[in-house]
Structure 1
Amino acid sequence: MITKKWAVTSFLVVLLIIQSFAWNADHAEAAPVLTLGSEDPKVSDLQYRLQVLGLYASPLDGKYGPGTEASVKQFQKEHGAVVDGTVGPTTWRKLRMYTLSKNDMEIMAKIIYSEARGESYKGQVAVGAVVMNRIQSDEFPDTIQGVVFQKNAFTAVSDGQYGMKPNRTAYRAAIDAVRGWDPTHNSLYYYNPKTATNKWIWTRARTVNIGRHVFAI
């Protein structure tokens, strides 16, 4: 006779196995080694990331040609990686820290718009900069999905405002934030002092005030 406890335990074990396979498959697919002559769907992703940074201006053709290689070398030089033009695990890791995919940029624009649409342009870039700082910090998840959808991390996600359609300004602010404009001075947090109810956030060291938001580390 199969007991309820045994059935639940078995289900959890199977679920963990499935998740493990999914995790490994996703990460294996997400990090192919790309080099001169490569033709892979990830080349287009690579080219898009470099394009957002202003390092690549040619079409996103999915072909790893000399132009793509030169852009990769420039990125590697700027971010302390071995300048060899090969996109292996180390370069992919840095790309994920300092760039976003096309789908990720949509998430960035949505969180900027939903959290800061009433702020100045600088204030909107500042919210994006906090997201990028969190991705690069060991204290937070290392993907924009993990950062934005972390429980209770952003009010706009909790109350549903995140679902609104971003405007062009939010997309421009997203690009500037990804390119490294950080008016917050490396802040990891921000809050509106008129509405903040979490006493813990007031204990963080302030860096700058921009519009209605106080930024802190």
Structure 2
Amino acid sequence: MYRFLVLFASLVLVITTASNDKIDASPVLKIGSEGQAITELQFRLHTVGYYNLPIDKNFGKATYNAVQRFQKYNGLHSDGIVGPRTWAKLKKLSVNKKELSMLARVIYAEARGEDYKGQVAVGAVVMNRLQSPKFPNTLKGVIMEPNAFSAVKDGQYWLIPNQTAFKAAKAAVKGVDPTGNAFFYFNPDVSKSVWFKTRTATKKIGNHLFTK
């Protein structure tokens, strides 16, 4: 029994360590840092409106100032150094290039028949889930969560999004949210789900009713 407990504890330690390594995989960045991680950092800062210069691989003064502004606005120590806490907050509020494409895909698949506001609203729901502890903590996890989006389940997610979907995705990432902080939406003329009727409605936008 003792050996079993020791082996079990060791296994838990290995799993925990591996998980922590995965969480802390993003490098600490500061002025003078170079490399591909700077490109992701600048892209993420750009998607939330803090960095508007060309994307490169150099952490210079402009990137430092953008990081400081992001940190200050989001209640972090504004030292201009991108450590684990800044990365964690940035990954909750922004997207990288691949994630922006994923967001545009789900918007196009779920709401291409809606007007622009309706498309932004669907993107806002995805971002609201990303920022909530009740849902997966990555954008991919939110989108690919089983039964979360019908377009993923039926394959429409893999359609190529148009420029309007990308524009809506960028607006949603920047914080445009016409839904009233909704986590769900459905078409009341089509859906027969009783579950949706138990939710608190926030807004009706186009064909979709948005709920908490």
Q: TM-score, normalised by structure 2?
A: 0.89
- 2:158 aligned partner, one-letter code: G
After superposition, residues 128-139 of structure 1 pair within 5 angstroms as: 128-139=123-134
Give the distance between the partners of 1:22 and 1:41, measured in 2 at CA.
23
| Secondary structure of the structure 1 residue equivalent to 2:202 | strand
Asked whether 1:60 is paired with 2:50, we answer no
Give the distance between the partners of 1:170 and 1:195, measured in 2 at CA.
23
Asked whether 1:74 is paired with 2:69, we answer yes
Q: Which residue of 2 aligns with 1:27?
A: 23
Q: CA deviation at 1:18?
A: 9.9
Q: Which residue of 2 aligns with 1:212?
A: 207
Q: Which residue of 2 aligns with 1:178?
A: 173
Give the distance between the partners of 1:17 and 1:157, measured in 2 at CA.
35
Query: 1:37 pairs with 29, 32, 36, which one?
Result: 32
Give the distance between the partners of 2:19 and 2:164, measured in 1 at CA.
35
C-alpha offsets along residues 120-146 of structure 1, whole Å, 9 cap, x if unaligned?
100000000000000011110011111
Q: CA deviation at 1:42?
A: 1.0
Q: CA deviation at 1:56?
A: 1.1
Runs of at least 5 residues in structure 2 that lack an aligned partner in the other structure: 1-11
- 2:23 aligned partner, one-letter code: H
Higher mean alpha-carbon deviation, 196-205 vs 160-169, is at: 196-205
| Secondary structure of the structure 2 residue equivalent to 1:128 | helix
Asked whether 1:123 is paired with 2:121, we answer no
Q: Which runs of at least 4 in structure 1 moved beyond 4 Å after TM superposition?
A: 16-25
Q: Which residue of 2 aligns with 1:104?
A: 99
C-alpha offsets along residues 154-196 of structure 1, whole Å, 9 cap, x if unaligned?
0100111101000000000000000000000110000000111
Please tell me the root mean square deviation across aligned C-alpha atoms, in Å: 1.8
Runs of at least 5 residues in structure 1 that lack an aligned partner in the other structure: 1-15
- 2:195 aligned partner, one-letter code: W
Paired residues, number? 201
- 1:209 aligned partner, one-letter code: K
Asked whether 1:46 is paired with 2:41, we answer yes
Q: CA deviation at 1:198?
A: 2.0
Give the distance between the partners of 2:110 and 2:189, measured in 1 at CA.
15
- 2:80 aligned partner, one-letter code: G
Give the distance between the partners of 2:35 and 2:20, measured in 1 at CA.
19
C-alpha offsets along residues 11-45 of structure 1, whole Å, 9 cap, x if unaligned?
xxxxx99987875554343x211111111321110
